[in-house]
Structure 1
């Protein structure tokens, strides 16, 4: 897909981190970008910066997602690109024992469900809504390409750490549904790919003590640093622009394989 001003895109979780970098990279190519996020102040600021449209949206809610897509399409037309970056994590063991009292605690099911709802079901909800809109578009080329979707999983999908049962399950689900969705959409000319980022310079990482950030960077085989959001954005644009890229899950991690903790 050729990126220019005739193309519209939606990027979820685009008020910061990986999503913001991707929104900027798309806008630099002339693409009209809608910022989907709950963070209103930051999202509006990114939208002003890139000449895009901010849509306040909760990806766990059908009505919120439908309203956001309607607003984005009213501003820019039907999107041909969807990049899913909305998500979060928690760190809770399946069961744990209090060191002082010996009390045994189990993973709160509401906390587990929330991560699945946001990271996995929220991603699928946006895919389904966006793909339905893409089906109304005319193909861009003789092969019938109508659109491209990029999802965000994590290296935790393959080597989750202690306390990442919910997070790994949600991201593993994103990886697992990539190929089936690509097959579902193959006759409609919509490609679907997923990036599995390693340890990146996101707001979550920047909130850690500097010592912790240095230790995490040192754990990466090469290059020994945290990933940059702009590198994620480059991978996303590669997946969008490369027509033969479909149904793939790609690690972007400096060759790291996460230890148990």
Structure 2
């Protein structure tokens, strides 16, 4: 699939990985629909120019995400919606039993799974339904979906039961979704980033961030959002990338 003149819906687009993807695609001649609940998508859309529009939507809402998908289809004109890069999500940390012997909060666990896993399914199902109506391109391709998992799906740390489970669910959906949507010419991929320089890292103490960076075999630093965007770009243009989860982590294995 070519990026030039194609339209992509990006969730979690206000900052971090999503914003980097939006900038990269526009630089490549693409068009983007920035989807987020943050007001920060407005100045980003203004900076990116006519190629970008901003839409506020909650990824767990069927109605709001349907409106976002319809906006993307309209923004895409005759070619419709070409792809989705789903970056929206939350990080949560809570031990099953805390230092005072109290059990973890069930509502907090459910919220994490609702946003990270159910939200991903919601975006995927609505985008796929829209892309299935596209005219088939080379190899019969009609669209591509790129979800965001995490290395925590494979080697989650203490306190990450909710986060790891939600991201493992994203991993688990990748292959069956790719198999199912193949008849529509839609590819499904997931990226599992390690520790990256995103706003989510802002609440972590500097010494902890430094320790995480040193835990990366090479390069010994946090990942940069642009590096995530470059991989997303490669997934879009390489039709043989399908039904797989790619770790983007510098070789880190969490302890």
Q: Could you state the TM-score of these two structures normalised by the residue count of structure 1?
A: 0.93
> What are the Cα deviations for residues 92-127 of structure 1, in whole angstroms up to 9, with x where unaligned?
0112241xxxxx311211111111111011011111
Q: In the alignment, which residue of structure 1 is the partner of 2:4?
A: 4
**Aligned mate of 1:216, from 212, 217, 220:** 212
| 8 Å CA contact 1:193, 1:246 repeated in 2 | yes
Q: Distance in 2 between matches of 1:45 and 1:213?
A: 29
What residue number does 1:101 align with? Answer: none
Distance in 2 between residues matched to 1:146 and 1:69, nearest whole Å: 15
Shift of 1:75: 2.9
- 2:189–2:243: 8 Å Cα contact kept in structure 1? yes
Q: Is the 8 A contact 2:73 2:130 kept in 1?
A: no
Quick one: distance in 2 between partners of 1:164 and 1:208?
15
1:19-78 alpha-carbon deviations (Å, 9 max, x no partner): 1001111111111100010002x1111111112010001011111111222223233332
- The yes-or-no answer on 1:86 pairing with 2:95 is no
Segment drifting more, 157-166 vs 213-222: 213-222
Equivalent-residue separation in structure 2 for 1:188 and 1:67 (angstroms):
22
Offset at residue 207 of structure 1 (A): 4.3
Structure 2: unaligned runs, 5 residues or longer: none
TM-score by length of 2: 0.95
Structure 2 counterpart SS, 1:191: strand
**Structure-2 change in CA distance of 1:172 and 1:21 (3 Å):** same
- Name 1:252's counterpart in structure 2: 248
Root-mean-square deviation over aligned CA pairs: 1.1
Unpaired runs of at least 5, structure 1: 99-103
SS of 1:217 mapped into structure 2? helix
